[in-house]
């Protein structure tokens, strides 16, 4: 039986799991093993951010984890100031230490739920959100969060996302879920496959990439880009006109 949105993991439950899994999020070359094409997606969103944003002075990394995506961006541009947001204090500490090694810009860490943190309006040239938005729940939650992201984006700035996505029809969803299950089994065996699916069912509520691209336009972005999609994972973004 599928878990209802109201029965999904709470913010505190998510925080506890992330606190215990810091090291798993620190491999820049592989990303998360459960994420299809993680290294490619990371490269695409950071390169797209660099190519699409003429003057990157300040970056917001939502759900930064151990800092992989901001570190990857540093391979294309430095220095820049970065605001790192995550539920997990151990994640933030690890991210700050790692980013300090490659970026001389000011680093600010903010622990908590991004939706409830006071951040500067039009303050960010680039916003990164990797493997975090799938924790949003109903339509109102999705739209209000995307509106906040748009408000935080500076004119000429951009948002870049990699995430687990759903599909619009049951037939395609089942097909892609089967393919993803095969990928997980090849990566870690039957137990790994079962564990990942259990976590998704308990914690996540992904939406189709088509839904999210339409929502990015709805909240005000002028251009949207689909960079990559493979099975149940996608990399995409949007740009605000100057």
Residue 201 counted as domain residue: no
Residue 183 counted as domain residue: no
The pTM for the full model equals: 0.93
- Using CA atoms, how far residue 174 sits from 207, 213, 215, in Å, is 14, 22, 24
% of the chain at pLDDT higher than 70: 93
> DSSP label at 4?
P
- Using CA atoms, how far residue 204 sits from 6, 24, 47, 61, 185, in Å, is 11, 19, 27, 20, 20
Residue 188 token pair:
């870690």
Number of domain units in the chain: 1
Residue 3 counted as domain residue: no
Residue 5 counted as domain residue: no
63 touches 128 (CB < 8 A): no
164 touches 134 (CB < 8 A): yes
Looking at residue 62, which CATH number applies to its domain? 3.40.50.150
Stretch (H or E) spanning 164: strand 153-164
Residue 187 counted as domain residue: no
Mean pLDDT of 221-240: 97
Residue 51 counted as domain residue: yes
162 backbone dihedrals φ, ψ, rounded to 5°:
-125, 140
pLDDT digits (tens, 9 = 90+) for 20-32: 665 666 665 555 7
Residue 188 counted as domain residue: no
- pLDDT for the residue numbered 29: 59
- pLDDT for the residue numbered 185: 96
pLDDT digits (tens, 9 = 90+) for 54-83: 899 999 999 999 999 999 999 999 999 999
Residue 53 counted as domain residue: yes
Q: Is 40 exposed, middle or buried (0-12, 13-18, 19+ CB in 10 A)?
A: middle
Stretch (H or E) spanning 139: helix 139-152
Q: How many helices (H) and strands (E) does the chain have?
A: 7, 7
pLDDT band at 114, cuts 50/70/90? very high
Enclosing domain of residue 127:
15-166+206-239
Q: Answer left, alpha or beta for residue 122, where phi above 0 means left and psi between -120 and 50 means alpha.
A: left
50 backbone dihedrals φ, ψ, rounded to 5°:
-65, -45
């Amino acid at each position: 039986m599928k878990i209802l949105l109201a029965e999904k993991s709470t913010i505190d439950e998510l925080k506890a799991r992330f606190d215990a899994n810091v090291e798993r999020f620190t491999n820049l070359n592989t990303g998360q093993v459960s994420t299809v094409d993680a290294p490619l997606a990371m490269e695409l969103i950071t390169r797209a951010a660099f190519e699409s944003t003429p003057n990157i002075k300040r970056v917001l990394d939502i759900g930064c984890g151990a800092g992989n995506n901001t570190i990857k961006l540093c391979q294309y541009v430095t220095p820049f100031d970065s605001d790192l947001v995550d539920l997990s204090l151990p994640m933030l500490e690890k991210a700050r230490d790692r980013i300090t090694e490659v970026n001389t810009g000011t680093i600010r860490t903010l622990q908590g739920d991004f939706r409830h943190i006071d951040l500067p309006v039009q303050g960010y040239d680039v916003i990164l959100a990797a493997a975090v938005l799938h924790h949003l729940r109903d339509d109102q939650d999705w739209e209000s969060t995307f509106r906040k992201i748009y408000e935080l984006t500076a004119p000429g700035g951009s948002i870049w996302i990699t995430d687990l996505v759903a599909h619009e029809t049951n037939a395609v969803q089942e097909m892609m879920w089967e393919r993803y299950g095969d990928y997980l089994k090849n990566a870690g065996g039957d137990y790994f496959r079962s564990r990942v699916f259990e976590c998704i069912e308990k914690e996540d509520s992904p939406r189709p990439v088509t839904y999210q691209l339409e929502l990015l336009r709805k909240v005000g972005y002028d251009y949207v880009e689909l960079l990559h999609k493979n099975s149940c994972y996608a990399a995409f973004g949007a740009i605000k006109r100057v």
